[in-house]
Amino acid sequence: MSPLLEVTDLMVSYGGLNAVDLVSFSVEEAGIVGLIGPNGAGKTTCIDALSGFIPHATGRVRFAGENIEGWPAHRRAEHGLVRTFQSVEMFDDLTVRENLIVAATTTRWWSVFIDACRPSYRVRNIDVEWALEATGLGGEGERYPTELGHGQRRLAGLARVLASRPRLVLLDEPAAGLDSAESVALASRLRSLPDLGIAVLLVDHDMGLVLDVCEQIHVLDLGRVIASGPPREVRTNPDVVEAYLGSEADE
């Protein structure tokens, strides 16, 4: 079977700088793959390109058997490829559940007529409730984002993208600002996603999290892949140690 996501020679250039330089990797169905590297290595730019937020990226990107290069971000999301952002921005005047409903609702050109003719119309909450349970927030749906701790807000951001029932989630620094206990809780939730039929591409600086949950890891430096493999191999790769891990690989 072909991988769920197959990236071949992805390139993003700004002027004379190649922020992502001929990057190739794949993500299997219900797999968890890590993408790591030092600051400025091109990790977020790679996610931006894969999710359609950088329209001028070149290379071949196949998702679920289709070539999706040239597709806008909303079409990729509707096809099941979604992403999170480093900053968890939510509507503070809406409950957590309402935030998820907004994210899960697909707006069409005729939606304005439905709203005008049927103001009491409500979307089905099945996927919203499922997303809350999948992230451990089943009892937090009626709370407001300002009432949540930082770790819960991060989980709410994950629940928001899960509410659309994606096939692949691109996670950009989901552990940013988490303490060790919150990171462990996040890891538990991420490991459960493949059992729910959801693949993950994880970008994060929390090496404990990445090494713990990922089956394969690709390391970027200056826009290029310098190492790929399972966590044990990547952790001790001399190029990775020099570029990123440093003494952590010897601990």
Q: For 145-174, what is each residue's pLDDT tens digit?
A: 999 999 999 999 999 999 989 999 999 999
Domain coordinates in residue numbering, the chain: 1-27+57-71, 91-167
Least confident of 125-134, 178-187, 194-203: 125-134
Which DSSP string corresponds to 157-185?
A: HHHHHHTT--SEEEEESTTTT--HHHHHH
Task: Identify the bridge partners of residue 6 per DSSP, sorted by sequence position.
Answer: 26, 62
Q: In this prediction, what percent of the chain has a pLDDT beyond 90?
A: 67
Q: What pTM was computed for the model?
A: 0.86
Can you give the pLDDT at residue 56?
A: 78
Task: Say whether pLDDT at 194 is over 70.
Answer: yes
Can you give the pLDDT at residue 22?
A: 94
- The packing angle between helices 96-104 and 126-134, to 10°, is 120
pLDDT band, very low/low/confident/very high, at 48 (cuts 50, 70, 90): very high
Can you give the pLDDT at residue 40?
A: 87
How far apart (Å, rounded) are the C-alpha atoms in residues 151 and 181?
9
Q: For 114-147, what is each residue's pLDDT tens digit?
A: 455 555 445 444 589 999 999 999 999 999 999 9
Task: Say whether pLDDT at 251 is over 80.
Answer: no
Task: Say whether pLDDT at 111 is over 80.
Answer: no
Going through 37-166 in order, the beta strands assigned E by DSSP cover 58-63, 66-67, 81-83
